[in-house]
Amino acid sequence: MQAAGGAPLSGADPARANRARRIALLAVLAAVVYVLDQVSKFLVVEFLEHEEPLTVVPGALVLTVIRNAGAAFSIGTGMTIVFTVIALAVVVAIVRTARQLRSLPWAITLGLLLGGAVGNLTDRVFRSPAPFQGHVVDFIQVFPVTRFPVFNVADSAIVCGGVLAVFLAWRGYQIDGTRQTDEQPEKHADEQTGERAGERADG
């Protein structure tokens, strides 16, 4: 069937289907990150909390459970409620942005950020000492001699998503699947120069 003027009624379907696939990828990746984060936290709390740190790779990887009242990597302890509100805002912003999503790289980026944000937000809402003031479970310690902060799966996803977001923005990749480059304004400037030269020649 065709609409008035001979345009096919299904003309917008490919774009809509592409957006649906990207949103589905975002949701699946966020769910995978969330499940990995929550399952790993449950296991380490169940079996490692109040125990001696477990050395997985000597000098490189140790599992040790701590409760973090701050942001990722134990930054800003004592501001739990503030970070809870920020995490809620981030989740809402990602969900709203997803309505314009048509980019595969951005689907992966937002999926990592959403899964990580929801993972730590779950801790802040439901864990002790109080609702919306809960302490996040951290347990991954790399290269202990460097005193690098202890973190968790959600933190890792947030950092990876943040790095990807910076890279995509730097390269000009947009949420809607388009790419902004420096060539576009240069081309526009060349066209304007040509028009002015033509006007002077006519004069």
Peptide bond into 129 cis (omega under 30): yes
155 is a catalytic site residue: yes
Cα 70 to Cα 80: distance, rounded to the nearest angstrom: 6
Cα 123 to Cα 203: distance, rounded to the nearest angstrom: 73
Between CA 91 and CA 126, with CA 118 as vertex, the angle to 5 degrees is 120
Which of the 8 DSSP states describes residue 131? T
> What's the N-to-C CA distance of the chain in angstroms?
53
13 is a catalytic site residue: no
Strands (E), the chain: 54-57, 61-68, 136-142
Longest C-alpha distance within the chain, in Å? 88
- Judged by phi (left if over 0) then psi (alpha if -120 to 50, else beta), residue 177 lies in left
Cα 198 to Cα 16: distance, rounded to the nearest angstrom: 43
Tokens describing residue 203: 């004069």
Q: Is the distance from CB of 114 to CB of 30 less than 8 angstroms?
A: yes
Q: Which of 123, 155, 176, 190 is catalytic?
A: 155
Q: Which of 13, 37, 123, 138 is catalytic?
A: 138
* Residues with a known catalytic role: 138, 155
